[in-house]
Amino acid sequence: MTRKIITLLTDFGLQDIYVGVLKGVISQINPDVSIIDITHQIPPQDLYSASYCLGSAFPYFPPDTIYIGVVDPGVGSNRKAIAIQSPEGSYFIGPDNGIFTSVINHFPQITVRELTNSRYWLGEKPSATFHGRDIFAPVAAYLAKGIAFSDLGELIPQESLIKLPLTSYRVTSEGIRGVIQYMDNFGNIITNIPGNLVQGKSWRVKIANIIIQPQVTYSKQSQGKLLAVVSSDGWIEIAVNGGNAQQKLGLNLGDEILVEFR
Amino acid sequence: MTRKIITLLTDFGLQDIYVGVLKGVISQINPDVSIIDITHQIPPQDLYSASYCLGSAFPYFPPDTIYIGVVDPGVGSNRKAIAIQSPEGSYFIGPDNGIFTSVINHFPQITVRELTNSRYWLGEKPSATFHGRDIFAPVAAYLAKGIAFSDLGELIPQESLIKLPLTSYRVTSEGIRGVIQYMDNFGNIITNIPGNLVQGKSWRVKIANIIIQPQVTYSKQSQGKLLAVVSSDGWIEIAVNGGNAQQKLGLNLGDEILVEFR
Amino acid sequence: MTRKIITLLTDFGLQDIYVGVLKGVISQINPDVSIIDITHQIPPQDLYSASYCLGSAFPYFPPDTIYIGVVDPGVGSNRKAIAIQSPEGSYFIGPDNGIFTSVINHFPQITVRELTNSRYWLGEKPSATFHGRDIFAPVAAYLAKGIAFSDLGELIPQESLIKLPLTSYRVTSEGIRGVIQYMDNFGNIITNIPGNLVQGKSWRVKIANIIIQPQVTYSKQSQGKLLAVVSSDGWIEIAVNGGNAQQKLGLNLGDEILVEFR
């Protein structure tokens, strides 16, 4: 029988034992699961990066995958612990604090339960500072074992969930105005403008008063020069061939960008 | 049949191939094992952090887990290579240099063997600099395969094992005096004072002449302010809500802390 | 049945979701595979380190392992996507850009195919910037599932593959002249001079006008002092007992080193 997959996305970093402890707890309850790290290096408590990363990663996993997301500045407060069931049969488990914004926006309809049934926690009384270990990991392990979703706790309305106030791109007379939504480890700058809006058109990018020309891929530009490209996830991206656009331009998350047409 | 778990805790970092090579060696001998990383970012040759991390992680794994610990400044010298069998049936494999101090202190009784049987090594003659690959990983893989513990080498007395000289907390007329035993990736400061000593009492922390008030969890304190809390592993911890206590206070491992009562 | 192993070696880093996405794609196609990370922290676009690391790691894995290597500055250009079959039955999958130099040099005879059959890609039309996800990971997953190597695409001659121009050591009247080929996370300096050339001889190292004496292992030298040693992979290595030789000497990849005999 094929093993179920549980993925982990956190801001724990890899220096401490916290990620290992999540895996220990899951293995104790359900040793026959595959655990896959999406990333543990979300900047501490950065829910925007967490939502972007989870939303960009989940389309590449099997439909019955169980996703744990733990970026949880409000742990131990009255923020809810939730599990989301998608129409495809995947589950998203974590705090109700906006970390699942991209997931909620992706699926027209989801079913959500508050994790109130302590039978599926690590112990009756969770710690006040580590619900990843005490609630989210055990619930994921039990779900992978086949317990019923309805057993986890009461239904809560989809509309009650917390969503991050994401900026949308706007089509204006000058072109499409968007913002930087992510910058990756290579220094590539990912905007929130979908690449299909420039398909078949003559376009260029203006950012911080610099004009950047589009290319099909990195290596079509000269070494060390800026280029615009449609990213592998379908967004307008700014990069440097063989270099780091973030270092070259010195921009920040949320900075504005304009796509111009001719 | 449920797969056995082998965990890894090292100071190898993740830049080089050393962790991958350990996993290759294990898989060659026993492909049907689950390998879980606890951490590979113990500060180079820091046995105190290694012992703290291993001791804090193992209670969350299944009872028959096999733990490899490799922080090994004396590799190739006459320090012993050992395997420890706990009463629960778990094994701890690595150098006899203090890395297992917290494990030895946890279990009243353990059985220890020196790893002298080269039949369970990677080759007859191990390298002088990488016993993780040549001795510890293969021994763990064979144990997971079911070879007898008694086959690994001669028994050695528990009392002969090397233990780190850990500082204990002391109850004084002013309160409980302890030290900082670990600082995590979030900048949380973990002391060596057990949280159950303050349960139900009115307490506060004094460190570097600063008074810090206790809270139930991080988010009960104002953003950016210091608080004391009982950590998820049960120790008195100093943290900053939404921030980094280590950066704010500039303290070091071993620095003194006082818990006062009123 | 024993599970097949797919290993990953990239310059993606662990901050972003790219490694997790590779694992998702593999799991979607073939959930019953074991995925092992060799490293994801090859310096961005450094093919020399990638080739060294892959060549040093693969001898420790089972003979039927499938290796994915993705350091790919020319992605989306006309560089070929290839799969190499070794005489032992292992596969190496990635770009034809020199990343497999050490593999090609190791095996006298290999069989190579260009990955042109889009049936084994993630979709008909791969992105221009992420062939790891769109070609290499799916091809590896299908190979692990048992599809025929001959199905992947046309044979291409071994001689046509791109190889990095590696510097060899030279035996001179003064001794053996070599270069630094790798520096690890501990600051150990790995040269390209095989350790078996000094076996049973009286030797020492000269680098940047400093004479360094050989030792059997790190701890035979005083704390903080330089030593030369035969590395665990069989190369002449320069290290500091309990310290970092790279920081102490301030050298770079490719810098010259001399082994002298007396």
- Asked whether the beta carbons of residue C219 and residue B75 sit closer than 8 angstroms, the reply is yes
Show which of residues 205-244 on chain B sit within 8 Å of chain A, judged by CB atoms: 216-220, 229-232, 237, 241-242
Statement: residue A262 has pLDDT above 90: no
Interface check A43 vs B, CB under 8 A: no
Task: Indicate the residue of C37, C62, C230 with minimum beta-carbon distance to B27.
Answer: C62
pLDDT confidence of residue C1: 59
Count Cα atoms within 13 angstroms, Cβ side, for C43.
Answer: 11
Q: What's the whole-number mean pLDDT along residues C83-104? A: 97
3-state secondary structure of A189: strand
pLDDT confidence of residue B2: 78
Q: What's the whole-number mean pLDDT along residues A73-81? A: 92
Note the pTM of the prediction, 2 decimals.
0.95
User: Token digits for C173?
Assistant: 């009247």
Task: Indicate the residue of B16, B23, B128 with minimum beta-carbon distance to C185.
Answer: B16
For helices A18-29 and B47-57, give the axis angle rounded to 10 degrees: 30
Task: Give the separation between CA C69 and CA C89, rounded to whole angstroms.
Answer: 17
Task: Indicate the residue of A23, A75, A134 with minimum beta-carbon distance to B36.
Answer: A23
Interface check B43 vs C, CB under 8 A: no
**Pick among C72, C96, C129, C185 to test the A interface (most A CBs inside 10 A):** C129
- Asked whether the beta carbons of residue A3 and residue C31 sit closer than 8 angstroms, the reply is yes
User: Token digits for C196?
Assistant: 């078996």
Task: Give the separation between CA A97 and CA A10, rounded to whole angstroms.
Answer: 14
Per-chain mean pLDDT for chain C: 95
C-beta of residue A84 within 8 angstroms of C-beta of residue A68? no
DSSP strand E in A117-224: where? 155-156, 170-171, 176-183, 189-194, 203-207, 210-212
Statement: residue B1 has pLDDT above 90: no
Q: Show residues of chain A in contact with C17, CB under 8 Å.
A: 38-39, 53, 56-57
pLDDT digits 0-9 by tens, C191-238:
999 999 999 999 999 998 899 999 999 989 999 999 999 999 999 999
Interface check B200 vs C, CB under 8 A: no
Nearest to B75 by CA among B117, B37, B44: B44
Under the banding of pLDDT at 50, 70 and 90, the label for residue C261 is: very high
pLDDT digits 0-9 by tens, C10-48:
999 999 999 999 999 999 999 999 999 999 999 999 999
pLDDT confidence of residue C163: 97
pLDDT digits 0-9 by tens, B168-200:
999 999 999 999 999 999 999 999 999 999 999
Under the banding of pLDDT at 50, 70 and 90, the label for residue C124 is: confident
- Asked whether the beta carbons of residue C217 and residue B76 sit closer than 8 angstroms, the reply is yes
Statement: residue C262 has pLDDT above 90: no
DSSP state string for chain B: -PPPEEEEEES--SSSSHHHHHHHHHHHH-TT-EEEEEES-S-TT-HHHHHHHHHHHGGGS-TT-EEEEE--TTTTSSPPEEEEE-TTS-EEEEESSSTTHHHHHH-S--EEEE---GGGSSSSS--SS-HIIIIIHHHHHHHHHT--GGGS--EE-GGGS----PPPPEE-SS-EEEEEEEE-TT--EEEEEEGGGTTTS-EEEEETTEEE-B-SSGGGSPTT-EEEEE-TTSEEEEEETTS-HHHHH---TT-EEEEEE-
In this complex, which chains have at least 3 CB pairs below 8 Å with chain B? A, C
Statement: residue C2 has pLDDT above 90: no
For B32, which residue in chain C has the nearest alpha carbon? C2
Determine if residue A175 is left, alpha or beta; phi over 0 gives left, psi from -120 to 50 gives alpha, anything else beta: left
pLDDT digits 0-9 by tens, B38-64:
999 999 999 999 999 999 999 999 999
**Pick among A10, A39, A41, A88 to test the C interface (most C CBs inside 10 A):** A39
Amino acid at C127: S
